[in-house]
Amino acid sequence: MENNKIQVIVIGAGPSGCASAITLARAGKKVLLIERGDNAGDKNMFGGAIFTQQTKELYPNFIEEAPIERAIIQHQIIMLNDNDSIKFSYKTNSNEIPNSYSVIRSKWDNWCVEQAIKAGAYFAPKTLVKELIIENGKVIGIKTEQENYYSDIVIIADGVNSLLAKQAGLRNEIKDSDVTVNIKEVFKLPKEKIEDRFLLDSANGAGAKILGGPLKNMFSMGFLYTNKETISLGIGISLDDLKKLKMKPYDLFEKFKSHPSIASIIKDAKIIEYSSHMIPEGGYNSMPKLYKDGVMVVGDAAMLVNNVHFEGTNLAMLSGKLAAETAVVAINKQDFSSKNLSLYGKKLKESIVIKDLKTHKNSVDFVKKHINTITELYPDLACEFFRVLHNASNEPKNEVYRKFLFRILKSGVIFKSIPLGIFAMEKCIKR
């Protein structure tokens, strides 16, 4: 690197930054990928599972070569009420390639960086970018704790907190309603026990979303993923609800874990790690400006998460790739102006990233408005339904049915479900 000058600097070696770096390196451009952790992944935590489609586009052999944990072939939704639970479980037994795989970030992120290095990218770990160097409104480089580096383009891929997108003037302060605080614990269990508990065969895994019970009446959800020899279990709660809760997030998590249906999943399992991380949940309306002279912002730093489908890493990879493709065009033209980088905005708009965020533009607000119906009424009635169905008491059945029907009518669930139905229909037809 001459005089610390390179064509592109990518800040952050998560899914989005790695996607940018490998795409640029493959196109023969000189790129420096910078990460503050001692190793990539050291500072990161997610659910989680990566998605096959977008991952394969970047790393065609990842299924054979990458450190993946389990193929997620079973998807569950678990609804809790105060004591009981109801579970929807979908399992695919087809021979198609599974559409997601659980991974551990410290291993996964590292592997992605290795691929970028093999493709020709330079990698600088243990390097914290303190600020951008901006000259006449154009981003021309970065300051680290050690030295300054200069580049034609900087790609900001520094995750949800993105202090740098803010410094660049691309985004404002984040609102507390636009993020969830997530905590996770990883439980060690023998492989066979995991497979028995989820009725899996080896190599295959399960993922679950959990709502209601201890998490009722707040924008909060539990999540679970099986890894090779561990189970990742966590909860997320929107920061504005957490502020109102007046309960520490880890106490809420303890309450959640003590629900009988959750306790049985992690019975006898030893906690090996506790962690926390935020998710940007503000969606389309919270997106920052995506580019300006000499700079583009990708992944979580640009708030690109589809919180209805729990998609983050795939949108991070896709946006990282599209920004890199734009950088290649800019380098070939030697034009790094905002006008020329607007190609990145155009590419994002034409991709699922913006299309899906737009579809779900008002979804979080909608769910928040109907949170009691979704997280309390539905789980209660669903549990009640099964109790009625299976309770062989001495009461005549028509009497039992009548009571349940009365309960349904009294709860107003039919009336309360109309907006949800209309909302779902809208998502199908609106373009």
Partner 1 sequence: MNINEKLSTLKYNKDKESHLTVDNEICKQCNDRVCTHICPADVYEWSEETDSLIIRYENCLECGACKIACDKKNIKWRYPSCEHGVKFKNG
Q: Note the residues at the interface with partner 1 (CB under 8 A).
A: 36-38, 41-46, 104-106, 126-128, 145, 160-161, 163, 173-176, 179, 181, 183-186, 230, 232, 239, 242-243, 245-250, 254, 271-278
DSSP string, 353-366: HHHHHHHTTTHHHH
Residue 195 makes CB contacts below 8 A (sequence gap 6+) with 201, 202
- Distance in Å, CB of 406 to ligand FAD, minimum: 41
Nearer to partner 1, 7 or 220 (CB): 220
Nearer to ligand FAD, 81 or 220 (CB): 220
Q: Are 326 and 345 in contact (CB under 8 A)?
A: no
Residue 361 binding partner per list partner 1, ligand FAD, none, with a CB distance cut-off of 5 to 8 Å that depends on partner kind: none
- Distance in Å, CB of 383 to ligand FAD, minimum: 27
Nearer to partner 1, 96 or 173 (CB): 173
Nearer to partner 1, 126 or 370 (CB): 126
Residue 312 binding partner per list ligand FAD, partner 1, none, with a CB distance cut-off of 5 to 8 Å that depends on partner kind: ligand FAD
Residue 15 binding partner per list ligand FAD, partner 1, none, with a CB distance cut-off of 5 to 8 Å that depends on partner kind: ligand FAD
Q: Which residues bind ligand FAD (CB under 6 A)?
A: 11-17, 34-37, 43-50, 128-129, 157-159, 182, 184, 234, 236, 277, 279, 299-301, 305, 310-314, 316
* CA gap 230, 338 in Å, rounded: 46
* CA gap 114, 62 in Å, rounded: 12
The helix/strand/coil state of 229 is coil
Which whole-number Å values give the CA distances from 423 to 212, 245, 365, 370, in the listed order?
21, 28, 12, 11
Residue 102: closest CA among 278, 223, 280, 279: 223
* CA gap 387, 78 in Å, rounded: 16
Neighbours of 404 (CB within 10 A): 16
Q: Which two tokens stand for residue 215?
A: 């998490």
- Distance in Å, CB of 234 to partner 1, minimum: 11
- Distance in Å, CB of 32 to ligand FAD, minimum: 11
- Distance in Å, CB of 403 to partner 1, minimum: 41
Residue 175 binding partner per list ligand FAD, partner 1, none, with a CB distance cut-off of 5 to 8 Å that depends on partner kind: partner 1
Nearer to partner 1, 287 or 354 (CB): 287
Which whole-number Å values give the CA distances from 129 to 33, 104, 174, 329, in the listed order?
11, 25, 20, 26
